[in-house]
């Protein structure tokens, strides 16, 4: 890290990932988080029940409806929505702390959450990525293959998928998750490029000033 970067940390990005259920958001997020130390995951609060293997505070903060409503009333959520008959929402404080410290934050949220983050005061730091499944048949077999949901729940998720996909054009980027490795590589490429945007490199101004000073010295000398 250059001395400029140490003095002027960049502000972190808000990386919004949405897709129909089963298209691969969680899998892609896990892969990215496993080895990109600049990214952290926004752990949402939800009123849905934990699935086998899910840990409170890791995948979600599992809360009662009363506790969730109290968070809304206290202004503690950056966004929230009702999905599949349960509430889901993003705790505000950890997101603000992370991006102020120059860390990117990954959000696994539905289209309603994506819209609210894009309309929030943090919108300038937000990029959004929509993940499409290769086919509806693949989507269904992935949901079944995950082995977490009853047939009734799978049918509910499938019927909501069409609605979720109808929002694809609101996103900055759209990826098709057919080959997982390729899709992961594309996701990393988006992040690398977005971090390099001029307005996201606060140290650039000082660097250009030094280049200009060098020109001056050469002209004089």
Least distance in angstroms from the C-beta of 15 to ligand GDP: 13
Residue 19, annotated ligand binder? Answer: yes
Residue ranges that bind ligand GDP, judged by CB under 6 A: 18, 21-22, 26, 44, 48, 79, 81, 83, 88-90, 108-110, 112-113
Specify the residue, 89 or 133, whose C-beta has the smaller distance to ligand ADP.
133
Nearest of 105, 107, 79, 82 to residue 92 by alpha carbon: 79
**From CA 204, how far away is CA 113, in angstroms rounded?**
33
Angle at 89 between CA 87 and CA 92, to 5 degrees: 155
Specify the residue, 111 or 125, whose C-beta has the smaller distance to ligand ADP.
111
Q: Does 50 bind ligand ADP (CB under 6 A)?
A: no
Residues composing the chain: 221
**From CA 134, how far away is CA 131, in angstroms rounded?**
10
Specify the residue, 54 or 194, whose C-beta has the smaller distance to ligand ADP.
54
Residue 123, annotated ligand binder? Answer: no
Q: Does 18 bind ligand ADP (CB under 6 A)?
A: no
Q: Mask of contacts with ligand ADP, 19-38, x by CB under 6 A?
A: x-xxxxxxx-----------
Angle at 141 between CA 138 and CA 147, to 5 degrees: 145
Q: Does 180 bind ligand ADP (CB under 6 A)?
A: yes
Specify the residue, 84 or 215, whose C-beta has the smaller distance to ligand GDP.
84
Residue 81, annotated ligand binder? Answer: no
User: CA 15 → CA 76, 154, 178, 206, distances in Å?
Assistant: 20, 27, 21, 27
Query: Which of the choices ligand ADP, ligand GDP, none does residue 27 contact, using the CB cut-off of 5 to 8 A by kind?
Result: ligand ADP
CA atoms within 13 A on the CB side of 95: 25
Q: Helix, strand or coil for residue 111?
A: helix
**Residues making up the binding site:** 19-26
**Residues making up the binding site for ATP:** 19-26
């Amino acid at each position: 890290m250059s001395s400029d970067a140490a003095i002027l940390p960049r502000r972190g990005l808000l990386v919004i990932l949405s897709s129909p259920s089963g298209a691969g958001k969680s899998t892609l997020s896990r892969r990215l988080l496993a080895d990109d130390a600049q990214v952290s995951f926004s752990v949402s609060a939800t009123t849905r029940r934990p699935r086998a293997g899910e840990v409170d505070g890791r995948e979600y903060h599992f809360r009662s409806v009363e506790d969730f409503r109290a968070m809304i009333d206290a202004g503690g959520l950056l966004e929230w929505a009702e999905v599949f008959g349960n509430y889901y929402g993003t705790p505000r404080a950890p997101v603000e702390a992370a991006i102020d410290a120059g860390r990117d934050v990954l959000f696994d949220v539905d289209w309603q959450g994506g819209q609210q983050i894009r309309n929030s005061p943090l919108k300038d730091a937000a990029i959004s990525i929509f993940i499409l499944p290769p086919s509806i048949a693949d989507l269904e077999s992935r949901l079944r293959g995950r082995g977490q949901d009853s047939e009734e729940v799978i049918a509910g998720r499938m019927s909501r998928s069409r609605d979720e996909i109808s929002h694809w054009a609101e996103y900055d980027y759209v990826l098709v998750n057919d080959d997982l490795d390729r899709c992961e590589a594309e996701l990393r490429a988006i992040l690398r490029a977005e971090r390099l945007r001029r307005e996201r490199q606060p140290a650039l101004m000082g660097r250009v000033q030094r280049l200009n000073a060098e020109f001056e010295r050469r002209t004089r000398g």
